[in-house]
Structure 1
Amino acid sequence: MFCTTCHSLAVTQGDETKLIGGDIGPELTKVGSKVNPDWLVAWLRDPQSYLSHALMPRYRWSDQDLYKVTQYINTRLTDPDLLSNVPPLEEPTQEEIRLGQRLFLEKGCASCHVIQGVSPQKDFGPDLAILGSKNVSQLEFGNSNIPRNLISYIQAKITDPLSVNPAARMPQYRLTPTDLDAITTALLSMTGSPANSSLARLVVPRPESAFRPAGAFGELYDRYKCAVCHRFNG
């Protein structure tokens, strides 16, 4: 399907690693560690159903080909070090989650942040109602040296916010290890719908060509997103 016409991949030859491919779409070298497999299937099957102005063409995959491509991405285009420092965790009990939620309120976190069932007094901090379901690729680690996983991110944001974001307004909390683990457990359980859902549908402006083919050819031209790579009359 000529994916590297638009996307780049890191290829190592000997001691040299370089990017090959196009620069229209994002680099795919480690994308298998960043995306949800179900989302990947839906995206490859019909990009415009997720993002109406997506530049990626809609390919007519057979189920077998779609399976092969997604398996390749999920198993080969990954970051082997991504989960190397993730500590093992058992499933939290409801009592542990409630303890963390109580500490979240007692320590003043709810003054700035939203969690499920709690509205903030101010709107300083981001909504944490779905923090536990976030992929590592959605987190901003800045220049910090902490392990790239959600648990380390949460605990660094609580104990040393400036290490992750030098412009953070969040205070630095001095918590006992037990209290820190309890709050982390509560935040990891926050996987539901955002408390304040004000996100608009993402729309990316699509560059328009001066020429719009008409008739049956025009329909095919639009359907297969030919304008992503090709132009008529400039």
Structure 2
Amino acid sequence: MSFFVVVDTGADFVKWQDVQRSDAPGSAAADALAGKAIFMEKPCAACHAIRGTEARGIAGPDLTHVGSRRTIGAGLLENTRGSLAAWIADPQTLKPGNNMPNVPLTSDELLRVSAYLESLK
């Protein structure tokens, strides 16, 4: 697994830590709101947690602040909306053997869910 190490001042670290402990910020953008609804009604919320929402899954990573991460897939991909969509659409092709199943989504649903996840900073 790959990860980045960031060195901050003590005060900056405390600020970052407070944000990370907080609930998901959410977004008022229409596509992100629609994406949140889709995320909650599909199997996504059964496996992933997003603090401040009904998503309480423990099988997959906590996605509360996924939009602020530099990478996804344990360092496999740069964290962009396109990468999020690609991962959601076919995680096994990108990282064979990972525990995320394929969840059938239409292209519109995929765009909206990736917009929602990108907004979680």
Count of aligned pairs? 104
Is 1:125 equivalent to 2:78 in the alignment?
no
Is 1:183 equivalent to 2:113 in the alignment?
yes
- With normalisation by structure 2, the TM-score equals 0.68
Matched-pair contact (CA < 8 Å) for 1:97–1:186: yes
- With normalisation by structure 1, the TM-score equals 0.38
Note the C-alpha offset of 1:121: 5.1
Note the C-alpha offset of 1:116: 3.4
Larger fraction in helix? 2
Identity rate, percent: 29
Among 60, 70, 79, which residue is 1:135 paired with? Answer: 70
Distance 2:72 2:91 in 1: 19
Higher relative contact order, structure no. (Cα contacts within 8 Å, ≥ 6 residues apart): 2
Partner of 2:35: 100
Q: Which runs of 5+ in 1 are unaligned?
A: 1-33, 51-91, 142-146, 192-234
Matched-pair contact (CA < 8 Å) for 2:35–2:112: yes
Partner of 2:88: 158
Among 99, 106, 115, which residue is 2:50 paired with? Answer: 115
Distance 1:184 1:178 in 2: 10
* Deviation by residue 1:142-183 (Cα, 9 ceiling, x = unmatched): xxxxx7442233112211111232222222123222111100
Q: Which runs of 5+ in 2 are unaligned?
A: 14-26
RMSD: 3.0
Q: 1:99 and 1:166, CA in 2 relative to 1: closer, same or farther beyond 3 A?
A: same
The residue type equivalent to 2:69 in the other structure is K
Note the C-alpha offset of 1:139: 4.4
